[in-house]
Chains A and B, each alone.
Chain A
């Protein structure tokens, strides 16, 4: 789950890391008031989840409250990366002596958090690590031991930073590491961590991402402190009607799990597929053989007839879908006959012939003999485990392409 900059700022502030006297404003008038309070030159920053704010004109400097109000008004109407801002951040324009980078990420190979620090802040850390590796300090953290300041100190000292800078930066990185752990973050970055002309260190920008699985146990922060509604998912894009409907069908019935995505898919072959790895494999197999999937989906667990029927109907009702392919990797937990009933019912309820509408049914496994009886009765072409997922996908593609040619 991603956070807006103003939220990330609040998160680091709560962790004891110095921030500027910033203001989060939802209107131009509020921005003016914030600029007045700060009393000096300010920066107005669009609050959207997408990147590239500077380039898009979403970051502007203002020398007076009047200018701040004008810039805020403009930026509040500016769409960036397909998103409208939910407000602006008004920041005092900082007198920066030097910019640093402080961050914590997961190292999946070591299975421990990794602290990163650089005295070349304000730019892309990957570039710095690539071109100036001696300017990047790294250190892993035990998952079991308490985080001690010296661990952060070592990482910073490795970049050559010493003196009062070392002593001021150390608690910042240590607190960032503790916040990473305590708040279940998958990424916690302060870039730049600025050393101001008066010697103080402040987080000028913060970027946090929290693991979705941890949201239930971070309610205090999320709902309490940040007032984020529990159903706000912050997906990178707006869910489509198809996706929302499938989510609703899934939520209404606890028997089994279904998921559907169609962002970026435009095709005529509807996919009613599973499970997780199977869906990925099958989607690849369809595309590699010239098929054009209309969607992606996942069937998992043991869905009710109503659930698989619901998914199949949603897929069939998408624009341009003429047939569906119903395919899964070998199932142990999902019942083949129940899925067969569901997808056939979907066709019948839409007034369509299952034999014509289901291009192929390939689900080997639990209760398959019973499933085959149902499929045979309704004239649906099916295959057993002796036909690979690749081949089944190929048959579905051939069928739908054949139909395309024939109907011309």
Chain B
């Protein structure tokens, strides 16, 4: 069954005439996703790979003749909030924000409005999500042939703070004969639309998903939140976690910024060692090496 996307999911691309958007539109179409329109203000009448371009989200929805399920937003940071608010206010319920470097205040506003309206934001600063052989929303996995190679359908739900690592981990699960139910690049910023814990209920309710793998980094309290969620909800899903950036625990590295915006290490609570301890206390298996993930998943699936 998978989560969030089905064969019928329709979505638009906001900022569709931009270089990155033109590419990912081609990729999504080739993958079989239903990209029903694009929005770039002022460019109504054009088309990108056959997808009609409109000035407003409202026009795109009207053209489609039915509510549009999702949007992939690639609009530059100064305009992203406006684009996302427009999508929300025009009934779009699943919004993937690819753009990076959006000021935190803007992200917080988008996320709060989405929450009030019952919409879900994935990202920002993410590559999107994919249900293998069903639908791809965003640049995740790259061109359709490459995405097909890395993402085979299966029982593992993948959530990752890094876009590239979503595919790396999913590929290793595919190579191991396991496969993925849904893979989500949740984004690298300090505030994101959907955290691990917030997505867990969807995976929990999905019959196809029988295990979860998360990729995480130091910085932020998302792992603590997940640990709390697991403790409070008698989850049937075994969770395997891999954490990168452990070298940042070293004294010389304190205060430096590596990787994503959300990874500035300050104070004890955010260090890799503490996070790992907390995850393990909640029954989440933390693997030391990235190549241990498929084996750990197999073990838990067999035990389950």
Complex: A in contact with B (CB within 8 Å) = yes
Q: Which of B103, B261, B288 has the most CB of A within 10 A?
A: B103
Cβ of B215 within 8 Å of any chain A Cβ, yes or no, is yes
List CB contacts (< 8 Å) of A268-320 with chain B.
Answer: 274-281, 283-285, 287-288, 296, 298
Given the complex, which residues of A lie within 8 Å of B171, measured CB to CB?
A: 330, 364, 385
**How many residues of chain B get a CB closer than 8 Å to chain A's CBs?**
65
Known A278-B165, A284-B247, A285-B289: A111·B108 in contact at CB below 8 Å: yes
Known A279-B259, A281-B244: A213·B191 in contact at CB below 8 Å: no
Select from chain B the residue with minimum beta-carbon distance to A145: B112
Cβ of B41 within 8 Å of any chain A Cβ, yes or no, is no
Which one, A108, A184, A287, A328, contacts B191 given CB within 8 A?
A108
Which one, A142, A143, A277, contacts B164 given CB within 8 A?
A277
Cβ of B48 within 8 Å of any chain A Cβ, yes or no, is no
Q: When the two chains form their complex, are residues B101 and A213 in contact, meaning their CB atoms are under 8 A apart? A: yes
What's the minimum C-beta distance from A104 to chain B, rounded to whole angstroms?
Answer: 12
Cβ of B1 within 8 Å of any chain A Cβ, yes or no, is no
Q: When the two chains form their complex, are residues A328 and B101 in contact, meaning their CB atoms are under 8 A apart? A: no
Q: When the two chains form their complex, are residues B167 and A236 in contact, meaning their CB atoms are under 8 A apart? A: no
What's the minimum C-beta distance from A388 to chain B, rounded to whole angstroms?
Answer: 4
Cβ of A263 within 8 Å of any chain B Cβ, yes or no, is yes
A390 to B256, CA, bound (A): 24
Cβ of B77 within 8 Å of any chain A Cβ, yes or no, is yes
What's the minimum C-beta distance from A277 to chain B, rounded to whole angstroms?
Answer: 2
Q: When the two chains form their complex, are residues B260 and A276 in contact, meaning their CB atoms are under 8 A apart? A: yes
Select from chain A the residue with minimum beta-carbon distance to B255: A236
Q: When the two chains form their complex, are residues B108 and A280 in contact, meaning their CB atoms are under 8 A apart? A: no
List CB contacts (< 8 Å) of B94-113 with chain A.
Answer: 101-105, 108-109, 111-113
List CB contacts (< 8 Å) of B2-38 with chain A.
Answer: none
Q: When the two chains form their complex, are residues A217 and B78 in contact, meaning their CB atoms are under 8 A apart? A: yes
Given the complex, which residues of A lie within 8 Å of B244, measured CB to CB?
A: 277, 280-281, 284
Interface string of A321-343 (1 = CB under 8 A from B): 00000001111110000000000
Cβ of B236 within 8 Å of any chain A Cβ, yes or no, is no
List CB contacts (< 8 Å) of B159-195 with chain A.
Answer: 160-165, 167-168, 171-172, 175, 188, 190-191, 195
A184 to B78, CA, bound (A): 13
What's the minimum C-beta distance from B41 to chain A, rounded to whole angstroms?
Answer: 20
Which one, A108, A112, A143, A296, contacts B221 given CB within 8 A?
A108
Which one, B217, B253, B255, contacts A277 given CB within 8 A?
B217
A287 to B290, CA, bound (A): 14
What's the minimum C-beta distance from A402 to chain B, rounded to whole angstroms?
Answer: 21
Q: When the two chains form their complex, are residues A332 and B142 in contact, meaning their CB atoms are under 8 A apart? A: yes
Cβ of A102 within 8 Å of any chain B Cβ, yes or no, is no
Known A278-B165, A278-B168, A330-B171: A144·B113 in contact at CB below 8 Å: yes
Binding site for A on B (CB under 8 A): 77-78, 101-105, 108-109, 111-113, 116, 139-143, 146-147, 150, 160-165, 167-168, 171-172, 175, 188, 190-191, 195, 215, 217, 220-222, 224-225, 242, 244-248, 250, 252-253, 255-256, 258-263, 267, 288-291
What are 20 residue pairs bridging A and B, where the CB atoms are less than 8 Å apart in the complex?
Answer: A106-B104, A106-B191, A108-B220, A211-B103, A217-B78, A217-B103, A261-B256, A263-B256, A264-B250, A276-B188, A277-B161, A277-B162, A280-B245, A281-B165, A283-B245, A287-B247, A288-B289, A332-B142, A385-B171, A391-B291
